[in-house]
Structure 1
Amino acid sequence: MNPSHDLDAVALNFSPNDLLLLNLALALIMYGVALDLRVEDFKYLIKNPKAFFLGVFAQFLLLPALTLLLVYIMRPPASVSLGMFLVAACPGGNVSNFLSNLAKGNTALSVSLTGFSTIGSIFLTPINFALWAGFYSPTRELLREISLDISEVFLTVSLILGIPLVLGILTRNFYPQLADRAKKILQPLSILIFAAFVVVAFMGNLDIFLEYISVIFLWVLAHNAVALSAGFFTGFFGKLPFPDIKTLSIETGIQNSGLGLVLIFTYFDGLGGMAIITALWGIWHLISGMALALSLKNIK
C-alpha cells in the first residue's frame, strides 16, 4: 500500500512548550527582519511600482493559482494539499533579502517586497489560504471537518507578525544605532534558533519523517520549483531588468514556512501531511534558493 494514503491520519508529536518556543522564535525572526525596514523602503515602492506590483502578483495570486493547478495534477493526499496551499499563502521568508543580495539582485526591491508581503500577510494569508483551499474539494472537506475559524487565524498572524514588525520598524526609525547593533545579533541568532527548532522537531518525530520523506520530497521539489519559476517568469515577461527578475524569483520561491508551522500546530493539531511538507519546504527552499542565487550572481 502506498504510504502516502496514511498521511491524513498522522499527527506529529508536539508539546505546548514546543509551540511556545516556535512562536517566540518566529516573533524574534520578524523583529530582526523589521530592523532593516525604513520608511524609504516603502517610498521606493512608490517610485518603482511596476516591479512591486509584479512581485505582489507573483507572490499572492500566481503562486496560489499554480499551487491549485499542481495539486490537481499531482493529486497528493488532502492534508499534504492543505499544507501546499498554506505554504503558498504565507509571506516571503526571512532569508530572501540575504539571498537576493547574494544573487546580485535588487536588494532594495527585495527588502521592500518582504516588508510589504509580511505586513500584508496579516490579512492576505488567512484569506488566500481559505480561498484557494476551498477551490479543491478534498481540502475543502478537510477544512470543514476541522471547523477552522479564519478570524482566529487573523489574530494569531497579527500577534506573531504584526507586533514584532511594528516594534522593529519603530526601533529602526527612532533608534537607528540600536537597530544596527541589534540586527547583527538577532538576525543570525533567530535563524539559528529556528533551524535548531526544526532539527529538534525532526528528531522528535524521526520515525514519521523517515517513513514519508521519500514521498513528500517529490511534492516539495515540484512545488518549490513552481514557486521559483513563477517569480522568474513574471519578471521576465514583465520585461523587468535582470536584477529585478532575480529578486522576484527568490521572493516568490522563499516562503515563511515558520508561520505555516505555527498555524499547523495551533489549529490543525500537527496534522501529518501539512506539517511534514511545510517543515521539509523550510529546509529545501534554503538549499534551492542558495543554489539559484549562486548560479545567477554573475549573470547580468
Structure 2
Amino acid sequence: MKLLGHKFLQGSTDVVNVKVPYRNIVTGLLVLIVPLLIGIGIAKYWPNIAAKARKILRPFIIFVLIFVITFGTLSNLYMFKLLTWPALLAGFLLPWCGFMFGCFSALIFGQKPANVTAIAIETGVQNTGIAIMLLKFSFQQPDADISALIPVIVACFTPFPLLLGYGVHVFIKFIKNQNTPSTDLEKEAAIVTFNTKTST
C-alpha cells in the first residue's frame, strides 16, 4: 500500500476521496490468520483429530463451494455492468503471465518437471478469495464492489490455463498410449508356462 497505493489514489479529489481502511484490513487479516494457526496447531499436536476433521470437512467444503459459486454469481450479477475492456484484459493477463513467468523461471534454473509445474501453479494462482473478502468487508459501498472487480475477474480467468495444461497433458498421454504396442498377456503367460515345462 505504501509503495503502490498512491498510484491508485491519484484520481482522488475533494469530491471523490478514497480512504484506505487500514484498521478493517488488519482486522480481516487477523480473522483469517487466527483460525489458520489453530488448524496448524491441531494438525501438529493432534493428527488423529485433524484426520477425522478432514474427512468431515471434505463434503462440507464441496457443498460450500457449490453454494457460494451459484448464489454468489446470482447475487453479484450487477457487477458485470462495471466490466470494462481494460479491466478484463488486466484480469486475463495477471494469472496467465504468472503461470508463464513461473514456468519459464523454473525451466531457466533447471528445475525438475514436477517442480516446474508446482512453481508455475504457485506463481499463477492468486489468493483472490482473500482479496475479495478483505475488500468487501473493509470498504463501504460502492467502493467495495469497484475495488473487488479485478480480483473477481482474475478468479474467473485463473482456471483456464490449468484446464488447458491438463487437457494437453491428457492428450499427449493418450497419444503415447496409442503408439505403444499392446501386448497379449495371456500369450506371454502361455509362452512362459511352456518354456517352464520344457525346461523341467
Q: One fold, TM greater than 0.5?
A: yes
Choose the corresponding residue for 2:38, options 167, 176, 179.
167
The match for 1:222 is: 93
Distance 1:194 1:269 in 2: 26
2:56 corresponding residue in structure 1: 185
Alpha-carbon contact 1:254-1:289 (below 8 Å) kept: no
Instruction: Tell me by how many angstroms 1:268 deviates.
Output: 2.4
Q: Is contact 2:92-2:153 (8 Å) kept? A: no
Over 6 Å off, 4+ runs: none
Superposed counterparts of 1:1-300, under 5 Å: 129-134=1-6, 137=7, 139-141=8-10, 145-160=17-32, 162-187=33-58, 189-190=60-61, 192-209=63-80, 211-213=81-83, 215=85, 216-269=87-140, 271=143, 272-296=145-169
Q: How far apart, CA to CA, are the structure 2 residues paired with 1:191 and 1:227?
A: 27
Q: How many angstroms apart in 1 are the aligned matches of 2:12 and 2:30?
A: 21
Amino acid at match of 1:206: L
User: Aligned letter for 2:148?
Assistant: A
- Cα 1:251–1:217 change in 2 (3 A) is same
Tell me: CA distance 1:282–1:199, structure 2 relative to 1, closer, same or farther (3 Å): farther
Shift of 1:250: 0.3
**RMSD, aligned α-carbons:** 2.9
Residues 198, 279 of structure 1: 8 Å contact kept = no
Give the secondary-structure state (helix, strand or coil) at the position aligned to 2:3.
helix
Kept after mapping to 2: 8 A contact 1:232/1:248: yes
1 or 2 for the larger relative contact order (CA 8 Å, sep ≥6)? Answer: 1
User: What do the CA deviations read for 1:45-86 (whole angstroms, capped 9, x no partner)?
Assistant: xxxxxxxxxxxxxxxxxxxxxxxxxxxxxxxxxxxxxxxxxx
**TM-score, normalised on structure 1?**
0.48
Structure 2 residue identity aligned to 1:153: I
Q: Output the CA distance in 1 between the equivalents of 2:35 and 2:89.
A: 34
- Can you give the 5+ residue segments of structure 1 that lack an aligned partner in the other structure? 1-128
Displacement, 1:192?
A: 4.2
Normalised to the residue count of structure 2, the TM-score between the two structures is 0.68
Distance 1:229 1:148 in 2: 32
Structure 1 CA distance for aligned equivalents of residues 126 and 30 of structure 2: 17
Q: Structure 1 CA distance, aligned partners of 2:52 and 2:164?
A: 29
Structure 2 gaps of 5+ residues are 174-200
**Distance in 2, Cα, partners of 1:166 & 1:207:** 36
Residues of 2 paired with 1:280 and 1:188: CA distance? Answer: 27
Counterpart amino acid of residue 282 in structure 1: A
Q: How many residues align?
A: 166
Q: 1:223 deviation in Å?
A: 1.6
The offset of 1:168, in angstroms, is 1.1
* TM-superposed deviation, 1:269: 2.6
